[in-house]
Amino acid sequence: MSDGKKSGLKIFDKLKKIKHIEIYIAVIFIVIILLIYMSTNKTKTSKQTKENKSNTTITGYIEHLEDNLEEILPDIKGVSNVNVLITLDMDTATVKDSNILLDKFPEIKGIVITAKGVKDTTLKMKVLRAVQTVVDVNNGRIEILSSE
């Protein structure tokens, strides 16, 4: 036999001599499965928590819109480092006992976007159209500024 086969057989023989090796292998296998399960479960839980937060409060909803715009706008070629601020028209709100009461969901008052690359008029127009599509606000309420 060659030396490679002999060393492989020696290792196999040593493994056979370990008592209850099946248990050790099973424990290692279970630990690996648990680690994989916990890592996928954690990401699902954090996504669900973020989605629940975004749907339960006005500020959560606005943060959700801002996050979505900050995520999608850099996909426009030439646009990067995007920051979005959305303000609401709270004139219809009533304050009673430290609670804000709303007759209806407040309209978006304005949007300010800062980004690199929007000095170029063509890119600025693309960003403007993308924002209008997402939030359905006229362009007079959207300000796009270069952060360069």
Residue type, 141: R
Q: What is the CATH architecture of 57-146?
A: 2-Layer Sandwich (3.30)
Using pLDDT thresholds of 50, 70 and 90, give the confidence band for residue 2: low
Q: What are the pLDDT digits (tens) for 135-147?
A: 888 889 999 999 8
CA 89/CA 18 separation, integer angstroms = 73
> What length is written for the chain?
148
Least confident of 2-11, 51-60, 75-84, 95-104: 51-60
- Secondary structure E strands in 26-141: 80-88, 93-96, 99-102, 108-116
* pLDDT of 93 over the 80 cut: no
Indicate if the alpha-carbon torsion angle 16, 17, 23, 24 is positive or negative: negative
pLDDT in tens, 32-71: 888 887 777 665 555 555 554 444 577 788 888 899 999 9
Domain locations along the chain? 3-53, 57-146
pTM over 0.75: no
Work out whether the CA dihedral 131, 132, 133, 136 comes out positive or negative. positive
Structural tokens at position 72 = 């999608």
DSSP 103: S
Q: Kindly report, residue by residue over 20-37, the tens digit of the pLDDT.
A: 777 778 788 888 888 887
